[in-house]
Structure 1
C-alpha cells in the first residue's frame, strides 16, 4: 500500500532531521585522532592542551613556528626491553666481527656480549655500552654504516615477540605524532640512542625526517677515499644525548625551546624540566610501563629505562603519566 503524499513528505523531513542530529555523533566517531587511547585522563589532557595552544585568540595560543614537540625514542615510541635496541644492534655487530678480534673472548665487555651475559653487560653500564659501540660502529664511512643499519633493522627480530623492532612501535604514540603534526606541530626525536642508528628508518616508521632526529653520536671526519669525498666514523665519542645532555642537544639541533615533551624514564627528566618549567602553555608526558601481558611492567627497579626520579617529579610538576595498561586500548600496531 502506497503512503499518502503528505505522509511521505513528513517521513522524509523526519529522516533529514535525524541525519542532521546524528551527524555530529558519527563525525566524532569517525574523526577521533587518538582511537587507540582509552577515554581516560591522559587523552583528555592531550586534547585539551592541543586545542588551547592552537585556538587563535586564546590566551594560550602558540604560533605554528613555536609548536615544537620532542619525543624520546626507547621506551617512549618503541619497546626498550629486554634491552635497548642499540645494545641489541651492538651485540650482533660484536658477533659478526668476533672472528677478526680473538682478544674479545677474554676481554670485557666483549666477552659478556659473546656469552650473552646480560647481567655482566648491565653491570658494565654506559661505559661498557660505549666500548661496544666504539668498537663496532666506527671504522667505516657514514654511507657504509647507514647500509649496515638498514640491513640489520630489516632482518633483526625481537627475542620475545619474534618481530622486527620497527613493528614494536607504540600505536598510540604513532597516533599522537600524527595528531600533533595535523595541528601545526613540528615533531622531533630526542634520544640517547645513536643518531645514525635512527635516521635511516624514522621517517618511514614515525613520519619524522632525519633532520628532525637528535641523538648520541661518535666523531666523524672528512676524507677523500678513492677520489670520492666521504665522512669517516671515528672510534671517539662526540656527544651523549641523554639526561642533562638532552636540553643541550635540543638547543644545538633545534634552536627553539619545545612546548611539549614526551618521555618514559629518568633519562628524560632534564628534557621534561627544560620544556615545562618555563612561561606559557607547556605539556609534559611520561609513558609508564605497567602492562606485563601486552608489553612489559617496570619502573624503579630495572637496568633499562629506569623510571624513578622522573616519576616523582611528574607529581610535583603536574606532568601527565600514561598508565599503559589502563590508558591504551592497544600497544603495537598489530594488536
Structure 2
C-alpha cells in the first residue's frame, strides 16, 4: 500500500516537473511576443509601452482603474487612408448622378457641375456645406437601416484607384495593433470622428474590432416614424444633429462616452481639441498624432515641416509645435512604421 502511494506520488511529481519544463518555453515565448510588430523600435514605440505599463500596473502612482481606461481614436487619416478624399465623401459623391438624373437642371449648378467634371483637385476643394447638401438630398427620409444597407453595398464594390482595393483594406496595420494592445490591457477603445456616425458603424466591428455603440461621430437628426405597415423606424432628416469635429470632438466625448480619455490619437487640426482635452486630465495621459510623411508608401502632406498643404487632413505647423511643446507623440509614418497595410506583409 505504501509502495503504491509512493509510486503515485512519484508519478505525480514527474508529471508536475514535466509540465513546468514544458511551460517555461511557452511563458518565455509569450513574454517575447511583440504586440506591435509593425512598429519600428524607437521613442514612439517605447512611449506606448511605458504609458501602458504605467497606467495598468497596480501600485504605480499613475495606475488607472479598469473602468476608467478609455482610449479614443480619430478615423480618417488616423486609422485609414483619407487621400485624395475622405471615403465617406466618395460615397456621398457617388449619389450625384442619381440626383442629377432626377433633376437634370442641377448639372449646371454648383457643386454638381464640379463633381460631374471629375476633376479630383477641384472636388477636394468643395466645402463641407457642399458635401452636406448632396448627402441631405441623397438620404433625406431614408430609414437608418436602409442607409446602412446602402453603405454596405457601396463598400462591397467601391475600389480605391491607387491600390485597386476595397477602402476597408486601407486600414493602418500599426494602428490596429495599437488598439488591440490597449484592449488587451483593459482599455476600451472608441472612435471619435468628424465622419458620419452611421457610416462608420456599418463596418467598425468587422474592421477595427470596435462595436457600433463605441462610435461617436457627426450625425444627422432622425425622426421617429411608422411605415405603411405600422412598423416603427427612425428616418434621417435634412438637418445636422451633431458636428463631431474640432471642439465638437471633446464635446462628443462628454456626450457619448461620459469620461475623459487617458489616451487619444488623431492626425489633423480637427483633432487638436480632443488631444487637449485628453491630456489636460490628471495622471498619465498620452496624446498621439499620425504624421503623413511617406509619399512613397502612402501620402505626404502637412503643411507642417514644409510638406505640401492639404485641405484634407490638414496638419498645420502650429499643431506640430503644440504637440512638441506638450509632449504629444508625433508618429512618423516613414520612420515609425515598418509596414502600413496588412496586405503588404
Return the TM-score normalized by structure 1. 0.91
Unpaired runs of at least 5, structure 1 = 1-17
| Aligned partner of 1:281 among 253, 278, 284 | 284
Q: Aligned residue for 1:310? A: 319
- In 2: Cα distance, 1:196 partner to 1:19 partner: 49
Q: Aligned residue for 2:91? A: 89
Contact 1:299 1:307 in 2 (8 A): yes
Return the TM-score normalized by structure 2. 0.88
Contact 1:91 1:114 in 2 (8 A): no
Q: Secondary structure of 1:104's partner?
A: helix
- In 2: Cα distance, 1:101 partner to 1:42 partner: 53
Shift of 1:27: 4.1
Contact 1:142 1:232 in 2 (8 A): yes
| Aligned partner of 1:55 among 57, 63, 69 | 57
- In 1: Cα distance, 2:267 partner to 2:333 partner: 11
Shift of 1:22: 8.2
Q: How does 1:84-233 map to 2 (within 5 A)?
A: 84-226=86-228, 227-233=230-236
Contact 1:140 1:232 in 2 (8 A): yes
Contact 1:121 1:128 in 2 (8 A): no
Q: Aligned residue for 1:329? A: 338
Q: Secondary structure of 1:334's partner?
A: helix
Equivalent pairs counted in the alignment come to 317
Q: CA RMSD in A?
A: 1.8
- In 2: Cα distance, 1:86 partner to 1:101 partner: 23
2:259 paired with 1:256: yes
CA 120–20 in structure 1, closer or farther in 2 if over 3 Å, else same? closer
Shift of 1:21: 9.9
- In 2: Cα distance, 1:245 partner to 1:20 partner: 50
- In 1: Cα distance, 2:30 partner to 2:236 partner: 52
Shift of 1:97: 3.3
- In 1: Cα distance, 2:97 partner to 2:63 partner: 53
- In 2: Cα distance, 1:44 partner to 1:84 partner: 31
Shift of 1:23: 7.6
Unpaired runs of at least 5, structure 2 = 1-20, 304-308
Contact 2:99 2:137 in 1 (8 A): no
